[in-house]
Amino acid sequence: MDAPRRRLFDPAPPPPSAGPDLRSSAPSPSAAAQARHDAAYDHVCARLMDMVDVVAETTEARGPGRPVGARARLREAVAGILDTDPALILNSAERDALIAEVVADVGGFGPLEALLADEDVTEIMVNTHRAVFVERRGRISRTDVRFRSEEALLRVCRKMAEGVGRRVDSFTPTCDARLPDGSRINIVVPPIAVDGTHLTIRKFRRETLSLDDLVALGSLTGEAAEVLRIIGRSPLNVLIAGGTGSGKTTLLNCLSASIDPAERIITCEDTAELQLRQDNVVRLETRPASTEGTAAVAMRDVLRNALRMKPNRVIVGEVRGAEALDLIQAMNIGHAGSMGTIHANDPRGALSRLETCMRENISLQAASSAQIQRLLADCLNILVQTQQLHGGRRVVTHISEVVGMAGDRVALADLFQFDFRSARLRFVPGRAPGFFAQAEQVGEGDALAEALRQAEEAQS
């Protein structure tokens, strides 16, 4: 009988031999080096646990502001262990790599240390211990960074959460927190994360961007930036809308820089991200419930307390729920110039989303859509829409003014609109904006007229 034909992708049969081939059982040089590295790593970490003072000092100093001396002492301790233990035989390169790994794991956030220090990385996405992705200049790519194990990744996540007094485990499988440098983190662990622990880090930008920087990055034009500067300076209520990662918080930071330093500003956030430059700023932050399900401080509680602190302006990092009503009411009772962000794909969608959030209040569940839209028309002045384009560039797509009601819904008039053909934010001529009076109040009336004149000239 003929032998069966081997298919193209079938493995080739082993060559005939007189006996079993024992060569495959010998580890390759790289495998042997890795095994030696792992054994040395475990041994050094076990020895370090006996050096309680070194570990405690380094742990307390964890973060961007950590004293250099603490890490130097840890490095010296690891080097001392390697020098005094004859069983640990490593060449110079292996020794340096082991010291760097132990110092990063014990004194920092493990293999993520290099990515956190990379100024070009804006987002880090860890999909279990096997895969780490980063965003650079709006583009997402996979790195060669890996964690040693799922347990190693979970240890890093717990370090991050515990740094701000939060916890993450199977009973509390999600966590929003921030790192000591202000970077925002989100952690998801099993059982709700099916494949293992996931960690997302939105890095905190050490240098605060300005509207001029956004112009240089191509996010908007110089004329639109000047109009936004005047809007931020004036007592106008502003809502910034956009998708995740579209630049809402960055733009809110830029707008807030125009606020008069004499004004008192209260910020309310789930995770503190805003970087206001004025002196009279109070930063408030929500708090999740404890493991017993108590002691939660919701955004609505924070916002209501903010209104008792004599603010000139209230800024809400992100409107997500029932607190939308409190923000709208604040805008309507003497806190003109308040600001916030919301997730939406366009200005009209932002209004619908805001209405949905407001309906989470029992008092508005029976209200008609027209009633809520009228309340929005009375309180909001400006809607700004942001978007991240396919190539990663973040742009402003709309600067729209609320001009009253059109039937049963809010009427909007675009001042600037993004032209996707030319990939440029363009001025929409034909009408004068209705907030000249507010600009005049802060001495910006002439500047607004000049900015609009230049925008119209640039359009022609």
DSSP state string for 248-307:
HHHHHHHHHTTS-TTS-EEEEESS-------SSEEEEE-B---TTS---B-HHHHHHHHT
Q: Which amino acid does the sequence have at 25? A: S
Per-residue pLDDT of the chain (460 residues; tens, 9 = 90+): 454 444 433 444 444 444 444 343 444 557 777 777 777 787 777 777 777 555 555 555 555 445 556 778 888 888 888 877 777 777 788 888 888 888 888 778 989 999 999 989 999 999 999 999 999 988 999 999 999 899 999 989 998 998 888 889 888 899 988 888 888 999 999 999 999 999 999 998 777 899 999 999 999 999 999 999 999 999 999 999 999 989 999 999 999 999 999 999 999 999 888 999 999 999 999 988 777 778 889 999 999 999 999 999 999 999 999 999 999 999 988 899 999 999 999 999 999 999 999 999 998 989 999 999 999 999 999 999 999 998 889 999 999 999 999 999 999 999 999 999 999 999 999 889 999 999 999 999 999 999 999 999 988 7
Tokens of 101: 């790994």
CATH number 3.30.450.370 is the correct assignment for the domain at 113-202: yes
pTM of the model: 0.80
Q: Which residue ranges make up each domain of the chain?
A: 30-107, 113-202, 211-459
The reply to whether domains 113-202 and 211-459 share a CATH topology is no
Q: Which amino acid does the sequence have at 299? A: M
Query: What is the structure's pLDDT at 26?
Result: 44
**Contacts of residue 25, Cβ cutoff 8 Å, sequence gap at least 6:** none
Query: What is the structure's pLDDT at 5?
Result: 45
Question: What superfamily does domain 211-459 belong to in CATH?
Answer: P-loop containing nucleotide triphosphate hydrolases (3.40.50.300)
Q: Are 134 and 141 in contact, with CB atoms under 8 Å apart?
A: yes
Q: Are 331 and 380 in contact, with CB atoms under 8 Å apart?
A: yes
Tokens of 318: 């992100």
**Contacts of residue 105, Cβ cutoff 8 Å, sequence gap at least 6:** 45, 152
Query: What is the structure's pLDDT at 12?
Result: 45
What stretch of H or E contains 139?
strand 139-142
CA distance linking residue 327 with residue 331, whole number of Å:
6
Write the burial class of residue 13 (CB in 10 Å: 0-12 exposed, 13-18 middle, 19+ buried). Answer: exposed
